[in-house]
Amino acid sequence: MLVRASSFTVELGENGYLIGFTDDYEYPAEMPFGWRCGPATDANAVVLATTDTGPLQMTIQVHDAPPVPETDGGWEPAEEMSLRADLPTLHLATLESGDIMDAWPDEEAPLRLRPAPDGGDWVRMRLYCHADDPEPGIGDHGERHLVQLWPAPETPPVHPDITEEDRQARADYAADQALDVDDYTVAYPTQTE
């Protein structure tokens, strides 16, 4: 049964958003290219959007049991994953270029989850996505996401198969993240007159 729902618009950064049960954010070591969502940590997920720097309409629903799958709304196939509820409140942050910004709207009350009946600290997240313009890019793509959450034991994720191109993009991103900051610095000679 639906316990609570919240709908609002999020202004996205360049790399999607983080959603989950921790406010201890750091840039994900891996990106789930080929999927819409993947683990950033045990407690939050990174979600990739079609929209790059623009608005996204988000609806978040908290349920007390698994909701019935959505069959209308023009959604892409749903993806699911388990998140550990380190904190009882849901947190949301956008991934800007080199920065992570808190994105939970000030006018929205925090969303809290009730503890799982078995006393576990895991939550199941189901993500539905739709974009009127499915080509990635800047600006308004008519993108909307529906996030459904409910207490549930940890179970394997549900994602579509990925392509070899997605695997390569994941490997390239991981290699970039592994570089030391020194690898990005440039030394300029000192000019004397």
Phi, psi at 39, each rounded to 5°: -70, 135
Alpha-carbon distances of 18 from 8, 26, 59, 138, rounded to whole Å: 16, 9, 15, 19
Q: Which of 27, 19, 37, 14 is nearest to 176 (CA)?
A: 27
Spatial separation of the C-alpha atoms in residues 170 and 49, rounded to whole Å: 16
Distance set, CA 46 to CA 29, 103, 127 (Å): 10, 14, 11
Residue 176 class from Cβ within 10 Å (0-12 exposed, 13-18 middle, 19+ buried)?
Answer: exposed
Residues 15, 76, 109, 11, CA torsion sign: positive
Retrieve residue 118's tokens. 């078995």
The structure's pTM equals 0.86
Structure tokens belonging to residue 22: 């921790």
Contact 142, 132 (CB under 8 A): yes
How many CB atoms lie under 10 A from the CB of residue 33? 18
pLDDT tens track, the chain, 193 positions: 999 999 999 999 888 999 999 988 888 888 888 899 999 999 999 999 999 889 999 999 999 999 999 988 799 999 999 999 988 899 999 998 888 999 999 999 999 887 666 667 899 999 999 999 988 888 899 999 999 999 999 999 999 998 999 899 888 888 888 776 555 555 566 666 6
